[in-house]
Homo-oligomer: A and B are copies of this chain.
Amino acid sequence: MIKNDLFLRALKGETVERPPVWMMRQAGRYLPDFMKLKEKYDFFTRCRTPELATEITVMPIKQIGVDAAILFSDILVVPQAMNVDFKMKPGVGPWLDNPVRTRADLDKVIVPNIEETLGYVMEAIKMTKQELNDEVPLIGFAGSPWTILCYTVQGQGSKNFDKAKEFCFAQPLLAHELLQKITDTTIAYLLAKIEAGVDAVQIFDSWGGMLSPVDYQEFSWQYMQQIIDAVKDKAPVIAFGKGCWFALDQMSKSGASALGVDWTVSPKTARKLTNNSITLQGNFDPSRLQSPIPVIEKMVKTMITDFGKDKFIANLGHGILPNIKVDHAKAFVNAVKSYRS
């Protein structure tokens, strides 16, 4: 039904002519047309207005030629729906006037009705699916419970999320209660997204790599696993844990269809850590798109050769940076598309 189904076939581990390619944050600030919309509408207006979310989502399909679309949104729409009032502060990023740090704070956090609070996302999915006209698949996403906790407790971005970790280590019972609320909400949210039409989902554990392997089990992975268990029979799941090389073996046995890896894990090490048993997605260093185009082309070829063309989805190892030139992003995508083994 989907014309370019390379991405879905790679998720199933099928043999493909070449790996599919998309880029995390592919609808982002490096695109001039995105910047025009950014000047007119604030961040959460763009997320909450289905017409805008649709326009932004399809932009990189048309302009960069990637093999999959990912719905424009933000991981923080989930805590917003849970009564955690995130704002986007210019020059600062996500911001909470009242971070969640006490029993009283936690009691105000709800597990919401998804249709009532996040219905706008489902509308955006339906509109985007129409606009995409089955040319390429559409990915939906959510943050991992641990990563959402990081922002919800810290109240803003951070280099080390010290206050989030203090909350978990000094008040573990409260932390687990918060993590379970986020998990329950995220499961309902992703099931609704799949129902609305997304073809696959990705869970972003952007800050899992700040935890020791033991703490990762306790505060991140067990909740990721709950989510995977709950949605994997409805749509393929990609689990991405930045810095979580130490958990790749376990993640490969989780029921996820693919694992995202960052650039600190070499392709060969990633294959070894996952016993070559699962589709891997990644792992070009976003900063490496600053290299001259011939260098990008050479490095992409090496990356694909090292991962192998099958069971592989070419991507960056984290989101594309705002100051990347459009022709460098295109060179990355085209280098994957022209790969011949």
Contact = CB atoms under 8 A, between A and B. Distances in A.
Contact of A212 (B212, B266, B295, B323): B266
A213 B214 CA distance: 24
Interface string A261-290: 001111001000000000000000101101
B162 A321 contact: yes
Contacts of A264: 209, 211-213, 243, 246
Contacts of A245: 245-246
A287 B165 contact: yes
Interface string A253-266: 00000000001111
The complex is assembled from copies of this chain, and their number is 2
Range of interface residues on A (Cβ < 8 Å): 20 to 34
A111 to B, nearest CB: 27
A222 to B, nearest CB: 17
Given A162-B287, A323-B162, A266 B213 contact: yes
B166 A290 contact: yes
A160 interface: yes
A240 to B, nearest CB: 16
Contacts of A45: none
Nearest to A212: B263
A157 interface: yes
A288 B169 contact: yes
A63 interface: no
B215 A292 contact: no
Contacts of A170: 290-292
In order of increasing CB-CB distance, the 5 nearest A-B pairs are A165-B287, A212-B263, A166-B290, A169-B290, A169-B291
27 contacts: A157-B159, A159-B159, A160-B287, A165-B285, A165-B287, A165-B290, A166-B290, A166-B323, A169-B287, A169-B288, A169-B290, A170-B290, A170-B291, A170-B292, A212-B263, A212-B264, A212-B266, A212-B285, A213-B264, A213-B269, A214-B266, A215-B285, A215-B288, A243-B264, A245-B245, A246-B265, A246-B266
